[in-house]
Amino acid sequence: MTSQGERHDELDFEFLGNREGKTYILQTNVFADGEGNREQRLHLWFDPTQDFHDYRILWNQHQIVFFVDNIPIRVFKNMSNIGVSYPTKAMQIQATLWDGDSWATDGGKTKTNWSNAPFKANFQGFDVKGCEVLQEGSDIQTCASHKYHWNTPRFWQLDPVRERQYEIVKRRYMIYDYCADRERNPTPHLECQK
């Protein structure tokens, strides 16, 4: 999902290329007010090319949660009260393919075999539940209303079952977290300075 413009907001699910026989890597990223570089990567516990899976994002004024098959794989809390930018702009959904050979595949050693084109993505059961904003600049405050179930207190934090699932995912499958990358982020983002 992305908004428009230089200071855009964006929430990403990104499947990174892999070498034959290697586990697939899923990367998530959060941009707020044009600031990104908040990548997290994890090995998937399944081959995403073999069957359909559910990928979902819960986004409200308290947190953003990325889910795979109803299991939380990433939580980004709203910490705007301490100066952390948080996505607030209206967004649209996009599906794209782009060349990340220079960084996304083991340091650029593996290259995309473009002779395998056309590349395809198939969607099944695609559904969007959201607050419709008809034009850029519209008042989106109504989108924070409790008339939308995802804004009710039940969705302000993970419940104990989902919290345990999330901890397991982080411990078993996460392979990169921008908060731990001191080489790339010598001065960690505010949300990482817990």
Per the annotation, the verdict on 10 as an active-site residue is: yes
Cβ atoms within 10 Å of 171's Cβ, excluding its own: 8
Contacts of 111 (CB under 8 A, 6+ apart): 101, 105
Token pair recorded at residue 75: 């939580």
DSSP β-bridge partners for residue 3: none
Backbone angles phi, psi at 80, to 5 degrees: -60, -20
Per the annotation, the verdict on 14 as an active-site residue is: yes
Among the listed residues 6, 10, 35, 163, the single catalytic one is 10
Q: How many CA atoms lie within 13 A of 45 on its CB side?
A: 11
Among the listed residues 14, 20, 167, 191, the single catalytic one is 14
Question: What residues act catalytically?
Answer: 10, 14
